[in-house]
Amino acid sequence: MLAGLAVMTAGVAVSSALGNIGFLTALAGALLARAPLHRAPGFWWGVAFSAWLAVSLAAGWQRAGAGTEARFGVWYLWLAFPVAWCALADPRGARWGLRLAVATAGVAALLGALQFIIGLDRSSPPLRIAHDGSPERLHVFGQGFHSTHLHFGAVMMLLTVGFAAAKVRALVGRGWAWSGFAIAGGGLLVSGARLAWLGMVAGIAALVGVASRRRLLWGAGVALALLAGFLLLLRTTDPVRFEKMTAGDDGRWMVWRTSAHILAEHPLTGTGGARAFSARYAELNPQLHGGATGEFPMGAPHAHNTLLALAAQYGLPAALLYLGMLGAVLLAAWRRRAADRPGWCLAAATVAAVLAAGMLEYVAAQSVVAQLQAVLLAVALVGLNPAIRPPRRHDATAGHGLA
């Protein structure tokens, strides 16, 4: 479990495959150790969530035949939190992983900066640095080793929020935490991902604002300052994109409108999966927009909004159960706020960042987001302090009160 947790935490900054390897290793360790995964906050919400997705798939299968689902990751990614929560009985795995994440994020951020400064060429992996110096490729996106700047930006967003938290500083040390914060913040800047900026603003504002009632205004002020900085940066580096955004000229509006109509057709069970959603989108979208197809003439892969995507593909209960999982973790942190206020702040900041970023992208289906989110929420709930001690060799439940 410890090795898998460390690989998963550090690997998401470089590769979703490496993060998945770490997750599966940690899950195998948890099963071999008979870890009490079912006692993690939100576990049964997750079970109900996956069960409802199966109901939705069966309904879609009945309507459209086989092949309604295309992406099964969202069915099991929530398990990363119970695994991380149990593994944090010994905090060394998370400590090693987060310290290694400083190094892996540094390499990824450096590559992203080169892509941003020299130019990005998505057709030449793994470095994806443009060699012809085309002006239109300059100062647009950096995506590190990831396939899109959205994945890269989302990872850097969560690392920025996490390393800014006092609970993480207590785990990894001040030097590691502030180095990670600076590196991840730089990676977020060059990613050009608006979802990452929105999530970071919400996360940092929550980190500051939920500590006490007196700090609510501070949190609001921090959010406004960060948002103003983002708008200024976007206007400077990509004025065309800035003008389109401020004018409301964004392709997501078309995707959201069509997705909402698809949801209205099957509000209880949705389409039954991503493939059926995409097929229905391809049929319905031109009808709603006077023949225009927008960015996805063959059908959008999802609704580019976490809650809308879950609801359109699997029905409104799926979106509510997803919120229930996050709410159960928040409730557990809230109940411990008197004894562990830094943990409550980190939990609130992580959930705020994920939900805010999810307004612009289907982040619930991104393994790198789910895995890093799981680690930060597990750290938020574990009983850490600046003088961390690993549990006794045979005390598998130390630090959690699981016994």
**What pLDDT is stored for residue 394 in this prediction?**
45
310 exposure class (CB count in 10 Å sphere: 0-12, 13-18, 19+)? buried
* Residue 48 to residue 38: CA distance in whole angstroms: 13
Cis-peptide, bond into residue 41, ω within 30° of zero: no
* Residue 57 to residue 60: CA distance in whole angstroms: 5
Backbone φ and ψ of 374, nearest 5°: -60, -45
With tokens 């500083």, the residue in question is 169
Contact 180, 357 (CB under 8 A): no
Contact 402, 89 (CB under 8 A): yes
**What pLDDT is stored for residue 397 in this prediction?**
42
**What pLDDT is stored for residue 67 in this prediction?**
54
Contact 78, 46 (CB under 8 A): yes
* Residue 192 to residue 138: CA distance in whole angstroms: 12
Which residues partner with 120 through β-bridges? Answer: 129
Local confidence pLDDT in tens for the 403 residues of the chain: 999 999 999 999 998 999 999 999 999 999 999 999 999 999 999 999 999 999 999 888 887 665 566 678 899 999 999 999 999 988 888 999 999 999 999 999 999 998 888 888 777 778 888 776 554 455 567 888 888 889 999 999 999 999 999 999 999 999 999 999 999 999 998 888 889 989 998 999 899 888 766 666 776 777 777 777 777 776 776 676 667 666 666 678 899 999 999 999 999 999 988 888 998 999 999 998 888 878 888 888 899 999 999 999 999 999 999 999 999 999 999 999 989 999 999 999 999 999 999 999 999 999 999 999 999 999 999 874 433 344 444 444 444 433 3
Contact 255, 304 (CB under 8 A): yes
With tokens 């598998």, the residue in question is 396
**What pLDDT is stored for residue 193 in this prediction?**
87
- Residue 117 CB: number of other CB atoms within 10 A? 13
User: Which of 14, 228, 192 is CA-nearest to residue 113?
Assistant: 192
**What pLDDT is stored for residue 401 in this prediction?**
38
Contact 398, 91 (CB under 8 A): no
**What pLDDT is stored for residue 132 in this prediction?**
64
* Residue 172 to residue 150: CA distance in whole angstroms: 27
* Residue 53 to residue 277: CA distance in whole angstroms: 14
Q: Structure tokens of 138?
A: 């300059």
Helix locations, 120-173, DSSP H: 149-163, 166-172
SS3 119: coil
Q: Which residues touch 247 (CB under 8 Å, ≥6 apart)?
A: none
Backbone φ and ψ of 389, nearest 5°: -125, 135
Backbone φ and ψ of 238, nearest 5°: -145, 75
* Residue 10 to residue 22: CA distance in whole angstroms: 9
User: Which of 41, 53, 37 is CA-nearest to residue 327?
Assistant: 41
User: Which of 94, 169, 116 is CA-nearest to residue 346?
Assistant: 169
* Residue 77 to residue 368: CA distance in whole angstroms: 10
**What pLDDT is stored for residue 298 in this prediction?**
81
Helix locations, 297-366, DSSP H: 306-314, 316-335, 341-357
Q: 102 vs 193, 269, 290, 328, 378, CA distance in Å?
A: 20, 42, 49, 29, 19
